[in-house]
Homo-oligomer: A and B are copies of this chain.
Amino acid sequence: MTFRAPLQSLDLALAAAGLPDLIAAGYPDLDPETVSAVLDSAAAFAEAELAPLNRDGDRIGARFENGVVTGAPGFAQAYKAFAAQGWNSLAADPEFGGQGLPKVLELAVFEMVHAANMAFGLCPMLTQGAIEALTLHGTERQKRIVLPRLVSGEWTGTMNLTEPQAGTDLAAVTARAEPDGEGGYRITGQKIYITWGDHDAAENICHLVLARLPDAPPGVKGISLFLAPKRLIDDEGRLGAANALRPASIEHKLGIHGSPTCVMLFEGARAELVGEANNGLAHMFVMMNAARLQVGVQGVAIAERALQQALAYAQDRVQGRPALGGEAIFGHPDVRRSLGLMRAKVEAARAICLLTGVLADQARFAPDDAARELARGRQELLTPIAKAWSTDIGVEVASMGVQVHGGMGFIEETGAAQHYRDARIAPIYEGTNGVQAVDLAGRKLSMMGGALMPDLCAEMAADAAALAGEPGLEGVGRRLAAGVAALSAATTWMQQNRGADALAGATAFLRLSGDVIGGWMLARQAVLARTRAPALADSRAALARLFADQVLAQAPGVAEGVMAGGADLAALDAAALAG
């Protein structure tokens, strides 16, 4: 088996993130057995149906010939099974055919999907974005006809945002939408990097497209959101003629070859408005928070997969005389330390992502307004960290996984290299990690009177102090306290300094945030394991210590980097950087 779903880790991580409280507050009918059953079934599907397709997905990939996209071998069939078994609709509203389960549970399921086959997982992930947009902003017709078919997985969805000149800066979008005089619109323009923009896995594709109305103001306040289906849809949901849109090509990418990344041409394509005119960017950002968290989960997933493969190799490969015993390189302290750090980082990233997922649910289901507001605020704070820190971990752990393999890691047939290639997209899409850092350092540190990060630091500091009473975790408590103090100081500095200084420190600040919050969650898991999973208690304490010594210990130094300011950046002009 090439992938084994990390059910033990997921159980502990979900518990440490607060799933039990969430269920008590918002899902009174959901019992722990159902949660376990969902995770177990998803694990079985991911392991047996999706993981085996991952290699050919990379090797052969999706193809584009004569204007038609053909999916990677087995992907279309696997997608139909995925939808038929209901994996597409776990958290969707039962009103539209969903199962109404917590989003965090769906997130845990999708982690397994992405780990088994990241290129495949992108298809339902994008559909979820469309479901979210139509649930919040769809017309009656869209909710009645389109939404249930997206929820069932009968149709899939895409997000058409980027244009060649408009990536991070969506204000530069130029695609046009002209009223057709019958209440609809005709869209004309080119969109790039459209994930699963065309494929043969479902009979229709619902493109959510950003475009400008003729009378729209310039900039971000003149962008509207439209729904343009691949095939036209009548009022009973029956499919009609092909719409005037098509894939012009698919990209030749470093990784995720099984995911067709399309250049899409809209040539007067019929479309419906979604939500309010000129408010499309705000509607899109609602979806984007969820998508960003999902991408963070992809970072966790690919790191988990890379770690599993490296661990298996290390236990198998015999070389030298290992100081920790045994014959395999797993007994070499340097190899063991690499694998331990990989595991610690995976668990820290998983913990951050699932905590953010629980907060997203709590923002809807917490018992009172204040709790919901607090959860929403913290969700906003953690989303860029979950996205960027976890995807950086994804790349780092995938690279460490190659390294553990030695020369075999560089041979494509081994598979370790695929993870290294696949992982590299996650820090880029759904807002580059630099954009996440700027979002964290700017908007998120300012929200709610600037209290979000200080409040979190206060909570972490209290937990750090309490670790003094946990045998074997006292040292983790001291390192965590120092890390929280460094994060607090850096937070104050970021809030007092604006402009280029703060922007220059943003990426280091995000790293610092993830390091400290990750270390905090590992300590929390280690404490929880003592009651919830005693078999894991010792190793979870060891992971928390390893992370504290090898990562948290650097937090004060990283904070100094945050607070160094950006005065030198101007001196580093193009001539200076040219070598």
Contact = CB atoms under 8 A, between A and B. Distances in A.
Interface of A: 4, 6, 8-9, 162, 165, 167-169, 172, 192-193, 251-255, 304, 307-308, 311, 315, 318-320, 323-324, 330, 332-340, 343, 346-347, 395, 399, 402-403, 406-407, 409-413, 417, 420-421, 424-425, 427-429, 432-434, 437-438, 499-500, 503-504, 506-508, 536, 538-539, 541-543, 545-546, 549-550, 553-558, 560-561, 564, 566, 568-579
A437 B407 CA distance: 17
A167 B317 CA distance: 11
6 contacts: A167-B406, A168-B320, A253-B411, A324-B569, A333-B504, A539-B571
Contacts of A428: 402-403, 406-407, 409-410
Nearest to A568: B542
A493 to B, nearest CB: 13
Given A252-B413, A410-B428, A346 B569 contact: no
B395 A399 contact: yes
Q: Which 3 A-B pairs have the closest CB atoms?
A: A539-B576, A6-B579, A554-B557
Contact of A561 (B340, B399, B539, B553): B553
Contacts of A506: 333-334
Question: What copy number does this chain have within its complex?
Answer: 2
Contacts of A564: 545-546, 549-550, 553
B254 A403 contact: no
A332 B502 CA distance: 12
Contacts of A167: 319, 406-407
Given A319-B167, A508-B550, A561-B549, A432 B420 contact: no
B566 A311 contact: no
B549 A571 contact: no
A412 B254 contact: yes
Given A162-B407, A503-B334, A507-B337, A570 B4 contact: no
Contacts of A407: 162, 167, 192-193, 428-429
A43 to B, nearest CB: 12
